[in-house]
Structure formats: C-alpha cells, structure tokens
C-alpha cells in the first residue's frame, strides 16, 4: 500500500492507538475467542485482524490448523502475532478487503456520489486463498464505514447508500470465502457510550433488551443494525443464521455494544 494514502495512514494510527490495550481487551477477547471456537473446520480467516488484541491466537491455533490474518496494516498484524508468540499464522497484508480504500483516498472520490456507490457495490474481492472453514469479520464493518465517512467528511444522505453498498459487498465476500460448507461470523460494534452514556452501567443480562430499544429509537451506527444485516444476509442466500447475545466492550475513552451474527 502507498504510505501517502491518507485512509491507510488513518488505520495505522488507529492500530497504534490500541496497540498497548491488551489488558483492556481481555473480556472482549475471551468472549470473541469462545464464539470462534464454536465454529467447525480446520482453517480460519480473520478479516480486519489489526493488532490481534481481540483474539487469543495461541488458543485458536490449538483449534485450527491454519490461521489466516488479513488487514491493511501489515506491521500491526506482525507485531500482534509476535506479541502472542502465535504459530500457524499466515499474514495477508497489506490487503484492502473492501477494494475501496484507494478509490476513497482520491481527490475526486465524491464528485459523483452515485458512481461512488456503484464502485462500492462492484468492488473487486481481495485475493485470499479460500475457501476457509471459518471466516470472521472482526469489528471490520464499522472501520470500513469510518473510512468512507472520513473521506466524505460527514454522514449525509449521499453517503448512506455508499455505506450500505460497502456492507453488502463485505457480506458477499464473507459468503464467498466461507465456501459451500463453511461458517462465517460477522462481529460488529453497534452503538457506543457517546450516544448511549448509560451503556457501561447496563447489566449484561439486560443488554439485549436495551440494545433493541436503542435500535428502535434509531440510536446505532449507520449500517450496523444487526436486524438489517441479518435480513440482508438472508437476501444473499445465507442460511442457518444465529444472532448471538450482545456484549459490552470497554475501549477506554468509550464503551461499545457488540453483536455477532453466525451464518
């Protein structure tokens, strides 16, 4: 990747900001690792591996024969693998799994918003050696959205169709990578304590009901509504959908409500 690409540079800065947050990630990492362990097969592909703080790689290496880690930021993944002394890891980086980072970094990306949406909907799928038995999108969806928002400068009516096109293309990628008999797990943050300041105090057993209330009130990240994502997966032919109970993720300056959808 070109080091002068502002979208790539932003992702590197995000990874640097959370590089030392291993201990803070512990509850989130434990929960997500347990979910991934429930999926069958011998090969695992993680989209958006980043610093690898949200997955216990040595533990997963006992479950899977091969761990494929894909991300824009190769240095972050290499450091994360080294930090955990993980084995059986194959790093696919720098790799733009959205196929849109280069386009969104151009000065003329938003001269024609409809063309931008069309490009997002038809973005080339990245070269990964699938199919894999298990595919995990690790909080990557909202990172893709954030890339588009930063490129656009704000969320407006012309941006929303682009975000939805990015989402659909990402789901198509996951379906393609998981093969005919594989399983996939889409993990995404849905809302943060920025707009739900009461989130840190919500008891875990009440989070699902509370999240439903926030979603019904329209209080969630644009494009991250798990109900809408599940409906889109069904429209793409995904089967055996499983919506896992949400959990809280403490990322220091803010908390997030996180959901996972298996298919």
Q: Tokens 């949200």 appear where?
A: 54
How confident is the model at residue 3, as a pLDDT? 47
What's the pLDDT tens digit per position in 91-124? 999 999 989 888 887 878 898 999 999 999 999 9
Q: Is residue 1 part of a domain?
A: no
Q: Tokens 């840190």 appear where?
A: 200
How far are the Cα atoms of 72, 178, 185, 196, 229 from residue 261, in angstroms, in the given order?
23, 14, 6, 22, 9
How confident is the model at residue 131, as a pLDDT? 95
N-term to C-term CA, the chain: 31
DSSP state of 155: -
Residue 194 lies in domain: 6-262
Answer with the residue of higher pLDDT: 125 or 52: 52
Across-strand partners of 224?
Answer: none
For the chain, how many structural domains are there in total?
Answer: 1
Q: Is residue 71 part of a domain?
A: yes
How far are the Cα atoms of 84, 101, 250 from residue 23, in angstroms, in the given order?
13, 30, 11
Distance between CA atoms of residues 159 and 152, nearest Å:
7
User: Cα 244 to the chain's mean position, in Å?
Assistant: 16
Torsion of the alpha carbons at 101, 102, 106 and 109, rounded to the nearest 10 = -60
Answer with the residue of higher pLDDT: 21 or 132: 132
CATH code: domain of residue 245: 3.40.50.150
What's the pLDDT tens digit per position in 218-242? 999 999 999 999 999 999 999 999 9
Lowest mean pLDDT among 1-15, 103-117, 130-144, 163-177: 1-15
Q: Tokens 């009516």 appear where?
A: 157
The edge-to-edge listing of strands for the beta sheet with 255-262 is 89-92, 66-70, 43-47, 134-138, 183-192, 255-262, 242-250
Contact 233, 259 (CB under 8 A): no
Task: Please tell me whether the peptide bond between 94 and the residue prior to it is cis, using omega within 30 degrees of 0.
Answer: yes
Which three-class secondary structure state does DSSP give residue 72? coil
């Amino acid at each position: 990747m070109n080091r002068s690409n502002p979208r790539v540079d932003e992702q590197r800065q995000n990874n640097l900001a959370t590089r030392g947050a291993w201990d803070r990630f512990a509850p989130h990492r434990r929960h997500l690792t347990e979910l991934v362990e429930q999926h069958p097969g011998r090969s695992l592909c993680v989209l958006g591996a980043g610093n690898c703080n949200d997955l216990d790689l040595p533990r997963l290496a006992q479950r899977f024969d091969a761990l494929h880690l894909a991300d824009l930021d190769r240095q972050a993944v290499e450091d994360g693998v080294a930090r955990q002394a993980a084995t059986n890891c194959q790093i696919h980086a720098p790799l733009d799994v959205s196929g849109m980072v280069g386009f969104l970094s151009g000065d003329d990306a938003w001269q024609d918003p409809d063309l931008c949406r069309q490009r997002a909907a038809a973005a080339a799928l990245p070269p990964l050696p699938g199919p894999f038995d298990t595919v995990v999108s690790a909080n990557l969806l909202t990172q893709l959205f954030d890339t588009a928002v930063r490129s656009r400068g704000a969320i407006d009516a012309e941006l929303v169709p682009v975000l939805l096109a990015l989402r659909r293309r990402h789901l198509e990628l996951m379906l393609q990578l998981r093969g005919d008999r594989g399983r996939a797990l889409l993990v995404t943050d849905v809302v943060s304590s920025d707009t739900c300041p009461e989130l840190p105090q919500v008891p875990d057993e009440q989070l699902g009901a509370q999240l439903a209330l926030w979603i019904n009130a329209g209080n969630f990240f644009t494009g991250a509504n798990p109900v809408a994502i599940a409906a889109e997966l069904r429209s793409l032919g995904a089967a055996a959908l499983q919506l896992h109970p949400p959990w809280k993720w403490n990322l220091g300056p803010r908390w997030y409500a996180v959901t996972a959808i298996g298919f």
